[in-house]
Amino acid sequence: MTQARTLYDRLWDDHLVVERPDEPALVYIDLHLVHEVTSPQAFEGLRRRGLLVRRPNRTVATIDHAIPTHDRSLPIADRVAAGQIEQLKRNCTDFGVPLHGPGSGRQGIVHVIGPELGLTQPGMTVVCGDSHTATHGAFGALAFGIGTSEVEMVLATQCLLQRRSKNQRVEVTGRLRDGVTAKDLILALIARIGVDGGAGTVLEYTGSAVRALDMEARMTVCNMSIEAGARAGMIAPDDTTFQYLHGRPFAPSGRAWDEALERWRTLVTDDGASFDRSVEIDGDAIEPMITFGTNPAQAIAIGGRVPSPTDVPAADREALTKALAYMGIEPARPILGHPVQTVFIGSCTNGRLSDLRAAASVLRGRKVHPGVRTLVVPGSEDVGRAAEAEGLADIFRTAGAEWRAPGCSMCIAMNGDEVRPGETAVSTSNRNFEGRQGRGSRTLLASPLTAAAAAVTGAVADPRTFA
Amino acid sequence: MTPFIAFESVYARLLRSHIDTDQIIPARFLKTTSREGLGRHAFADWRYEEGGQLRPDFPLHHPSARGATVLLAGENFGCGSSREHAPWALLEMGFRAVIAPSFGDIFRQNALKNGLLPIAVDAGVHAALADAPPDATVGVDLGVIRLPDGQRAFYPIDPFWKACLAGGIDEIEYVLRQAEAIADFEQGAR
């Protein structure tokens, strides 16, 4: 009890079921989120083994990846996607797993609905067959993505075999300036430490600039921990966290709330706890960021110049040359003014109400550039309802953007929402890999403010000039 | 899982760094409810022209890569998403091991659970394999590979996974046998 522990160590210790030398530890999972794409083979495995879901009340399903975002009253045209969605419904019925499907009022991207329903709570272990599960770490939960074999493992046993990760502290000092968002913070971090700078570690985000973020912004930061190769990312809970959770449908209430609060307040990294690695970032110095290449670390300040292959270490030269050729971007030139044909505002990274408000603040009273197709996709039915109620949807429609139904949409481009081959998109999503948003798509990752500024301009633009 | 048996093979070379799972199996192929049928879509955007013809310049189409059951790749192989479709696709394409300087964490786990060996080697060993003639072969065993020049190179493998692979042990069966401990934990902690 005397040794100072990190928040991660504390959560690890709290969830140890069995620990034996020379074996991975057996770790208990409090919340298992399920969606249509990575679960069918796992449920099939249960059937083959003749097993049930061990804890249906710790399992929650929704439909997000393959679902169309246009008119939901029509049948799904893609028969393969429709089959996958039907399979999830059948699996949830057969195994007693609660499903928040389209029209339930609660459907949405799995990492948006977990927090907004109050399912995600401090101190929990949360897993999902999706690498952006780290989002839930914003609540001081240990949350990470797993493959389908592990989905089957958790369905069957409510546990996972795990090796303890290393601890890495990310301290962001100062305070983000106007026009600079959580998205810019995380892109700046990944640009600094690289796409494998977090490998083998769990990131804990600390410092005044992180403390000043609201919950939705904290989710944006934790969400992209995997893009630095980290196992998970987390932020110790505080009053901001507790205020967000209070009164949510699945959050504790009454006396249980008071008890939970007492427990949650202990979820901190002890003074003197040691981290295996640490990185410090000056929050005051972060600029709006945008990617120019084909991985999320290839990012620069919006006013900066794209690096030239001759500027980088020999080992990175070929990769940079290939990335720029794929992107159709000239080296050593400013990124401002680079032509854009598509803008996507949404995803588990930036599809929450505050993200839509940010985009609307730029689009209000302005028009989308005639050469730009702009999709605005709320992260959930709840986000969509709220955006309709406060007039954001009208702002988007009036500006000439397409206002869609909730889902992952153009972030992963498996539901028909695609960037056309050779087109450049400014996207608020999380991955700019080759072909990520459709074959031949070219993705520039940025914040909702920057994406909206590009929609209006038809080119990469500094959002601060629209304030 | 069937127990692992050591083997020797020519190897295919795909020497890019940070090959993400969207390259290994693009998302549009993830709408299946099966583990099968993914092999022909592996590396689809690199392997085929838009019209579906094979791209002759893709390294895995090099004649020397024919019959290769080992893939030699650059650092951070399999970064990105958690899709287990990536190892399923590679296995169906005929690969039984991937050798790279490093791997994405989730991909490494997913690969092991399907009997696709993720073999992390240092720069010297990687260079020896990358620089060897096209018809060179590599021998693969649990924890050790034999390089084209006959030298042996050890690589780290979790002892638990080594035992699972060698014995063909099913991980879920293994954990199900600890049901009592899980029930105790649920009683005590919740």
What chain B residue is nearest to A38 in terms of C-alpha separation?
A: B83
Place A73 in a pLDDT band, splitting at 50, 70 and 90: confident
Nearest beta carbon to residue A147 from set B33, B113, B160: B113
d(CA A19, CA A460): 52
Task: Check CB contact under 8 Å for A161 and B28.
Answer: no
CB B103 within 8 A of CB B126: no
In this structure, are residues B108 and B80 in contact, taking their beta carbons and an 8 Å threshold?
A: no
CATH superfamily of this structure's domain A7-162:
Aconitase, domain 3 (3.30.499.10)
Cα separation of B174 and A5, whole Å?
A: 30
Interface with B, mutate which of A434, A442, A445 (most B CBs under 10 A)? A434
pLDDT band at B8 (very low <50, low <70, confident <90, very high): very high
Q: Give the residue from A441, A167, A196, A234 showing the smallest Cα distance to B79.
A: A196
Specify whether the CB–CB gap between A464 and A206 falls below 8 A. no
Residue A86 clears pLDDT 70, i.e. is over it: yes
**Which residues on A lie below 8 Å from B34 (Cβ)?**
40-41
* Percent of chain A whose predicted confidence (pLDDT) is above 70: 100
Which residue from A349, A305, A301 is spatially nearest to A331, judged by alpha carbons? A305
Q: Report the phi/psi class of residue A347: left, alpha or beta, with left for phi > 0 and alpha for psi in -120 to 50.
A: left
What would the CATH number be for the domain defined by A289-466?
3.30.499.10
Domain B7-189 listed as CATH 3.20.19.10: yes
Quickly count: other Cβ atoms within 10 Å of residue A10's Cβ.
20
Closest Cβ opposite residue B20 in set A37, A54, A433: A433
Instruction: Please return the burial class of A140, using the count of CB atoms within 10 Å of its CB with bins 0-12, 13-18 and 19+.
Output: buried
Which strand ranges, in their side-by-side order, compose the sheet holding A99-100?
A99-100, A59-62, A31-34, A125-128, A142-145
Whether residue B190 has pLDDT greater than 90: no
**CB within 8 A of A40, min separation 6: which ones?**
A84, A87, A88, A91, B33, B34
Residues of B in contact with A45 (CB under 8 A): 172
Region of A392 please: left (phi>0), alpha (psi -120 to 50) or beta: alpha
Distance CA B155, CA B158 (A): 10
Q: What are the chain A neighbours of B176 within 8 Å (beta carbons)?
A: 51, 156-157
Mean pLDDT across A259-288? 98
pLDDT above 60 (res A42):
yes
d(CA B109, CA B45): 25
* Res B67: pLDDT: 94
3-state SS assignment for residue A375: strand
Look up the CATH number of domain A166-236+268-285: 3.40.1060.10
Q: Which of A38, A44, A45 sits opposite B82 (nearest CB)?
A: A38
Residues from chain B contacting residue A39 (CB–CB below 8 Å): none
Asked whether the predicted pLDDT for residue B122 surpasses 60, the reply is yes
Q: Which residues make beta-bridge pairs with A25?
A: A162
Q: What are phi and psi of B144, to 5 degrees?
A: -150, 140
Shortest distance, CA B185 to any CA of chain A (angstroms)? 6
Q: What is the pLDDT of residue B1?
A: 78
Is A241 near chain B, with CB under 8 Å? no
Which residue does chain B place closest to A162, by CA atoms?
B109
> Quick check: A422 contacting B, CB < 8 Å?
no
Mean pLDDT of the region A5-19? 98
Please report the ipTM that was assigned to this predicted complex: 0.96
A22 vs B159: CB contact, 8 Å cut-off? yes
Q: Packing angle between helix A381-389 and helix A353-363, nearest 10 degrees?
A: 40
Substitution target in A19, A29, A30, A41 with the highest count of B β-carbons within 10 Å is A41
Q: Tell me, yes or no, if A431 comes closer than 8 A to chain B by beta carbon.
A: yes
Residue A264: CB atoms within 10 Å: 21
pLDDT at B189 > cutoff 70: no
pLDDT of residue A467: 79
A7-162 and A289-466 agree in CATH topology: yes
Residue % of chain A over a pLDDT of 90: 96
At residue A59, φ and ψ (nearest 5 deg) are -125, 135
Label residues A44-55 b or e (16+ Cβ within 10 Å = b).
bbbeeeebebbb
Q: How confident is the model at residue A256 (pLDDT cuts 50, 70, 90)?
A: very high
> Whole-number mean pLDDT of chain A?
97
Q: What is the pLDDT of residues A354-400, one digit of tens each?
A: 999 999 999 999 999 999 999 999 999 999 999 999 999 999 999 99
Which residues of chain B are within 8 Å of residue A434 when distances are taken between CB atoms?
22-23, 45
* Joined tokens for residue A122: 């401090």
Q: CB–CB of A213/A222 below 8 Å?
A: no
Section A214-237 average pLDDT: 98
CB contact under 8 A, A44 and B33: yes
Q: What SS3 state is found at A106?
A: coil
Contacts of A225 in chain B (CB under 8 A): none
Q: Do A44 and B106 touch (CB under 8 A)?
A: no
Residue B114 one-letter amino acid: N
Q: Which three-class secondary structure state does DSSP give residue A279?
A: strand
> Does residue B94 carry a pLDDT above 90?
yes
Residue of A nearest to B163 (CA): A23
> Is A153:B168 a contact under the CB 8 Å cutoff?
no
Residues 27-66 of chain A with CB under 8 A from chain B are: 28, 37-38, 40-41, 44-45, 49, 51, 54, 65-66
What is the predicted pLDDT for the residue at A1? Answer: 53
Q: Determine the average pLDDT of the residues in A215-229.
A: 98
> Which tens digit of pLDDT belongs to each residue from B135-183?
999 999 999 999 999 999 999 999 999 999 999 999 999 999 999 999 9
Distance from CA of A164 to the nearest CA of B (A): 13
Residues of chain A in contact with residue B45, where contact means CB-CB under 8 angstroms, are: 434-435, 439-440
Confidence at B2, pLDDT banded by 50, 70, 90? confident
The domain ranges of chain B are 7-189
d(CA A80, CA A66): 9
DSSP state of B2: P
For A112, phi then psi, to 5°, come to -90, -40
CA pair distance A90, A71, nearest whole angstrom: 23
Which of A28, A146, A149 lies nearest to residue B185, judging by beta carbons? A28
Mean pLDDT calculated for residue range A327-355: 98
b/e A16-26 (16+ beta carbons within 10 angstroms → b): ebbeeeeebbb
Does the pLDDT at position B83 exceed 90?
yes
Tokens of B178: 């600890």
Q: Does A361 touch chain B (CB under 8 A)?
A: no
Distance (Å, whole) CA B44 – CA B42: 5
Strand extents, DSSP E, A24-69? 25-28, 31-34, 59-62
What's CA A155's distance to the chain center, in Å? 23
Query: If you ran DSSP here, which 8-state letter would residue B132 be given?
Result: S
Domain boundaries, chain A: 7-162, 166-236+268-285, 289-466
Query: Looking at residue A21, what is its pLDDT?
Result: 87
Q: How far apart are CA A273 and CA B89, in angstroms?
A: 42
Nearest-by-Cβ selection for A145 from B45, B50, B106: B106
Are B186 and B137 within 8 A, CB to CB?
no
Residue A92 Cα distances to A96, A243, A265, A320, angstroms = 6, 32, 35, 45
Question: What is the distance, to the nearest Å, from the Cα of residue A210 to the centroid of all Cα atoms in its chain?
Answer: 16
Beta-carbon separation of B171 and A322 below 8 A:
no
pLDDT tens figures, B109-118: 999 999 999 9
Q: How far apart, in whole angstroms, are the C-alpha atoms of residue A398 and residue A392?
A: 10
Do the Cβ atoms of B31 and A148 come within 8 Å? Answer: no
